[in-house]
Amino acid sequence: MCKLQKAVVELLWIGGQQKDILSSSSSDFAGEAFLDFSANELNYWESDILWHLTKYENVDNPLVVWDIVAALLAFKQSAPKYTDHILVKWLSVTFLGSYTGLYIGEVLTCIPENFSKITSRQLHLFNIICRRVILSDVKAEEMNCKVNLGGQAVTKAE
């Protein structure tokens, strides 16, 4: 079994498992249950995904994030607010130093100020999450052909 398959099985197997690592997860979704998941199961998934994202920041761990991307994309299709909540929490803690409670767009605009403090591994992970999860609905041509200058989108000259 290749590393990617092993990582997917590991994440999906333990993702819904009930374990006591919830000290860092929030109760923002405590009263809500959707996607046939209870609020506790959503907290377990949140905790698990955040733990895996944090684990990959260590250079000694192999960087296999496609299992996390697949889980986030699956949640994003049915529960985009839940996915945004997880991403805001990870981005805030990783790039801004603490959970801010801001919206995803607000957090993303604050991150460039901290680029000098970001490791290349964190930047790589950030790039993958942005392109594959956050911007998953944007076509690649649109993403690569437009440049944002002062809030005004400008198409590159061909």
CA distances (Å), origin 49, targets 91, 152, 158: 12, 35, 41
Crossing angle of the two packed helices 39-55 and 80-91, in degrees rounded to 10: 40
Q: Residue 6 has what pLDDT?
A: 56
The model's pTM: 0.70
Q: Give Rg (Cα) of the chain.
A: 17
Mean pLDDT by 10 residues, the chain (158 residues): 56 53 50 65 86 83 81 86 92 87 88 86 89 79 55 48
Domain boundaries, the chain: 3-155
Distance CA 11, CA 80 (A): 20
